[in-house]
Structure 1
């Protein structure tokens, strides 16, 4: 069976909150509850939170940002992967790649041609994962994190 994305609803909310990453990754990505709170306080349509499910088992969580005002001055709009939490026991099974591919498909569906992501730099960060998927660094940082981009065209 293929993994799928589910909108986070009252039915699967607790399952989403139960996604736990590896302890050595906790410094690099916010927990799901933080992401859902951020999705709630941003304008409708900016955040795209989804639960990653394989069969009936929740294996991860992603949140995309869609067409945001990147610089806050209306000159640059971007879409990308805001958060990616793959459950500790589900890592290394392709769910991260599935998540990135799913966000890329949604951005393409909306007419976008680039997928942005930020990551915590350092030896326990996901730079190797994103690099293997074709992301390149932009030379920018955002909140101390490295900014990467994947061309979708």
Structure 2
């Protein structure tokens, strides 16, 4: 018997409510925008935003949104791709879904011949810095909206 692995699903009318139902822990809500905001941003950034529902065994466990060639400085001088948003459901954290999400975005960026994966995170003891550092991201010395900017080199 094969155990199903987590997978990504495009957001569709059929899974929209499941995506909107993803909630992080209350103590994390200040550090990540809700899925509804991400989907609104995806709507106004077509072709750049890459939103996906994370599903395991038929149940929704998280949401991610990658950015594909976003205009980092709003002047067209630097385009970057990376993990824009990551929301793992409160009861599903610590089960490897965050790692799966990052690895899935990295695989998509490699497929697109992108050499670096960027992410920003809320600094401080209640933020996800340890998670991202543990996956190999390194701060690049920049901040964005008060958040730390990290980069993962994709080989």
Deviation at 1:75, TM superposition (A): 1.8
- 1:21 counterpart residue number: 24
TM-score (norm 1): 0.98
Deviation at 1:71, TM superposition (A): 1.3
Deviation at 1:3, TM superposition (A): 0.1
SS in 2 for 1:103: helix
- 2:66 counterpart residue number: 64
* Deviations 1:45-72, CA, capped at 9 Å, x for gaps: 1000000000100000000000112112
Cα distance in 1, alignment partners of residues 61 and 128 from structure 2:
18
Cα distance in 1, alignment partners of residues 22 and 73 from structure 2:
31
Q: 2:6 aligns with which of 3, 7, 14?
A: 3
RMSD of aligned alpha carbons = 0.6
Mapping of 1:46-65 within 5 angstroms? Answer: 46-65=48-67
- 2:76 counterpart residue number: 74
Mapping of 1:138-153 within 5 angstroms? Answer: 138-153=140-155
TM-score (norm 2): 0.97
Cα distance in 2, alignment partners of residues 87 and 15 from structure 1:
11
- Structure 2 residue 101 is matched with structure 1 residue 89: no
- Structure 1 unmatched ranges of 5 or more: none
Deviation at 1:96, TM superposition (A): 0.1
Cα distance in 1, alignment partners of residues 33 and 84 from structure 2:
10
SS in 2 for 1:108: helix
Cα distance in 2, alignment partners of residues 56 and 106 from structure 1:
22
- Structure 2 unmatched ranges of 5 or more: none
